[in-house]
């Protein structure tokens, strides 16, 4: 496996983990606005599980194709994963903060549902 292939693999897994975080933040806005405990717990599991699971899967695939743990390919895929995950997660959190500011949820009390 070349260095470029290892980097592309890292970018792919970083994008996947960040996309899971962004998808969760987008589709659970109304539930999180109501402070739904199930939605918040699901978020903890999804975000943590996707980040940890994708990095472990990246290591497993890298080991399977013969990339050594202390080789340049290993570190380049790890740095590519970290960079892509950080960028995608930053953009998702930025969109979340803009949404919260737009609806006026910054310093307000939680909305209660009586139904």
Whether 49 contacts 4, CB under 8 Å: no
Specify the pLDDT at position 115.
55
Among positive and negative, which fits the CA dihedral 104, 106, 108, 111?
Answer: positive
- For the entire predicted model, the pTM comes to 0.80
How many domains does one find in the chain?
A: 1
Q: Is residue 108 part of a domain?
A: no
Q: Is residue 73 part of a domain?
A: yes
Domain that holds residue 18: 3-103
Per-residue pLDDT tens digits for 28-77: 888 877 888 888 898 899 999 999 999 999 999 988 888 888 888 889 99
Q: Is residue 115 part of a domain?
A: no
Give me the chain's average pLDDT, please: 87
């Amino acid at each position: 496996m070349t260095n470029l292939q290892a980097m592309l693999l890292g970018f792919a897994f970083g994008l996947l983990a960040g996309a899971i975080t962004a998808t969760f933040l987008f589709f659970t806005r109304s539930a999180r606005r109501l402070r739904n405990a199930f939605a918040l717990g699901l978020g903890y599991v999804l975000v943590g599980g996707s980040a940890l699971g994708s990095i472990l899967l990246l290591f497993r695939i890298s080991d399977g194709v013969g990339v050594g743990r202390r080789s340049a390919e290993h570190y380049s895929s790890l740095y590519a994963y970290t960079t892509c995950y950080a960028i995608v997660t930053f953009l998702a959190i930025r969109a979340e903060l803009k949404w919260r500011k737009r609806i006026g949820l910054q310093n307000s009390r939680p909305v209660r549902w009586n139904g």
